[in-house]
Structure 1
């Protein structure tokens, strides 16, 4: 493998006699891949926390603590599902002695308070712990993306609900902490994708009853799971379920046929299923809230908050 499967920078490549055009061609043809901004690895190298940590260590400032979205990525959590970056964001880090941001060309420094116990060591790299990372994401990311990050960390078993509540309490009166307790209360460990988190938050913000997630329903063919569901009966006697159909897994004719058959199965046993796409969840169009409100017989709270 290139560089024995170890992360390398453009400087490393240049020292090995590689041109910029060669790096571009290897990326295009899938022989290498980017790990973080400015760091590459052979495409055959197996992904792992150790590999990600080694990549970050190549561009992190000396003595810095990796935090926020970069720390989440290191733990295997995607906080960039919506953004679809062609180029990866800068490494997010903080240098603790002065509690001030560290700024280098390949890093994004932050002013970030670190309390006792917030930092763990992964090899030669200092990183905010999973609990501290979740708290800081809850403080600093926009609500929908902060919630999806917390949901994902709970789902992955990196953190627990009770310990997360206690960690948030430690940061009382710190900037941005006001939204974190709300998001921790709304978090659902069973949520399986960022889109489901955004959908659930949209439902709650519209004033509808808090739904359940990943509800098991037995049909005549098999057991199905509904992403977001209301157990109470609608005015017409059916129960309402919302299915978040991601662009990645629900974008071809075969997927449409499969999804349609699945909805038919659920409707046979008394469920009304509303398919939801990313465009329905994001933006200012209130069509989703109006459709849910019509089904439940409840007037939604509008306009949308985000």
Structure 2
């Protein structure tokens, strides 16, 4: 551990509104150790502690000591003037690292700025499939503030207090505003993935998203965003299901019913499936790892979960239903899976 003198802010997580969770400051301390004071400063989020140059400079730590810490591999810079212990950084996934970068970036920005776009999505706990995360994205309310640097993208766009939410002390654009911004900016598939999740996790309606979109009607990309929002659906339960819907749409397949309930002849519940063409007796299931994680009840082994899923599928097939399954690699390219759907549709048509 880097031996530097400073304060230590200990933080306890007390909630989880998004990816981060609310925090509570527990105290300010000096930790003695070795030949001086052990470094233990930062804002802890269960994912690393930020070290601010301006704070350690007040404690007498020189820029040379910070540079030496980086050379020795003890410190890593996450933003200009903000560092983290490299050992902590290496234990974080891409999303958690981005959150650290967000906290570092907003600490040096003015009060008229809010976390936005994909950075807001991560802070709000939403999926950011295939999005660029090399820069922190914020929006400045004042005109003329837009700029793009190596690690920061400042958008210039108006927002008001009704479009803000506070997450762990940070001003973040609301889920509805975030989806509207991303629907304007992202390709169709990426926007659908984050929009489906926001509708599901934050109980947003299509009307909520359109209201957010129309709040500033003169902003560019509104027509594109309106088309994307119309396609979003809260019933998609994962990014894989959202992407599957998009790929089926692009392939020209019939629009499936989502979260369809399968019953037996006596109307006893058998299963709820991801996709269905009930009139043709075709069931579609996207098999992502998250699905099997959900099947893992306490004291249930992975092998047992897979076995129970097989029994579930056997019960579905016993109702004379065709069952199609696919996984993440089958989404791109999707045409082999689309061909399987078309063959199933043709078989069903010949049986009727």
- Shift of the 248–167 alpha-carbon distance from structure 1 to 2, 3 Å rule, reads closer
Which residue of structure 1 aligns with residue 123 of structure 2? Answer: 74
Query: Are 2:284 and 1:228 equivalent residues in the alignment?
Result: no
Following the alignment from structure 1 to structure 2, what is the Cα–Cα distance between the partners of residues 201 and 253? 30
Q: Which one of the candidate residues 16, 19, 25 is aligned to 2:87?
A: 25
Shift of 1:253: 7.6
Which residue of structure 2 aligns with residue 277 of structure 1? Answer: 327
Following the alignment from structure 1 to structure 2, what is the Cα–Cα distance between the partners of residues 33 and 197? 21
Following the alignment from structure 2 to structure 1, what is the Cα–Cα distance between the partners of residues 241 and 50? 36
Shift of 1:102: 3.8
Shift of 1:56: 6.2
Q: Which one of the candidate residues 143, 165, 180 is aligned to 2:225?
A: 180
Q: Structure 2: 5+ residue runs without aligned partners?
A: 1-7, 12-42, 75-84, 294-300, 348-352
Shift of 1:57: 3.6
Following the alignment from structure 2 to structure 1, what is the Cα–Cα distance between the partners of residues 104 and 210? 32
Q: Is the 8 A contact 1:60 1:91 kept in 2?
A: no
Shift of 1:119: 3.5
Following the alignment from structure 1 to structure 2, what is the Cα–Cα distance between the partners of residues 267 and 162? 38
Which residue of structure 2 aligns with residue 114 of structure 1? Answer: 158
Q: Is the 8 A contact 1:135 1:180 kept in 2?
A: yes
- Shift of the 158–10 alpha-carbon distance from structure 1 to 2, 3 Å rule, reads farther
Query: Are 2:41 and 1:35 equivalent residues in the alignment?
Result: no
SS of alignment partner, residue 261 of structure 2: strand
SS of alignment partner, residue 110 of structure 1: strand
Q: Structure 1: 5+ residue runs without aligned partners?
A: 41-52, 234-238, 299-306
Which residue of structure 1 aligns with residue 31 of structure 2? Answer: none
Shift of 1:114: 2.7
Which residue of structure 1 aligns with residue 26 of structure 2? Answer: none
Following the alignment from structure 1 to structure 2, what is the Cα–Cα distance between the partners of residues 54 and 115? 20
Which contiguous aligned blocks of 4+ residues in structure 1 show a shift greater than 6 angstroms? Answer: none
The number of aligned residues is 273
Which residue of structure 2 aligns with residue 241 of structure 1? Answer: 283
- Shift of the 34–282 alpha-carbon distance from structure 1 to 2, 3 Å rule, reads closer
- Shift of the 266–228 alpha-carbon distance from structure 1 to 2, 3 Å rule, reads same
Query: Are 2:319 and 1:266 equivalent residues in the alignment?
Result: no
Query: Are 2:230 and 1:146 equivalent residues in the alignment?
Result: no
Which residue of structure 2 aligns with residue 43 of structure 1? Answer: none
Bigger Cα displacement from structure 2, 195-204 vs 114-123: 114-123
Higher RCO by CA contacts (8 Å cutoff, separation 6 or greater): 1
TM-score (norm 1): 0.73
Following the alignment from structure 1 to structure 2, what is the Cα–Cα distance between the partners of residues 142 and 206? 17
Following the alignment from structure 1 to structure 2, what is the Cα–Cα distance between the partners of residues 281 and 29? 29
Which residue of structure 2 aligns with residue 131 of structure 1? Answer: 176
Shift of 1:222: 5.6
TM-score (norm 2): 0.65
Following the alignment from structure 2 to structure 1, what is the Cα–Cα distance between the partners of residues 108 and 278? 50
Structure with greater Cα Rg: 2
- Shift of the 38–59 alpha-carbon distance from structure 1 to 2, 3 Å rule, reads farther
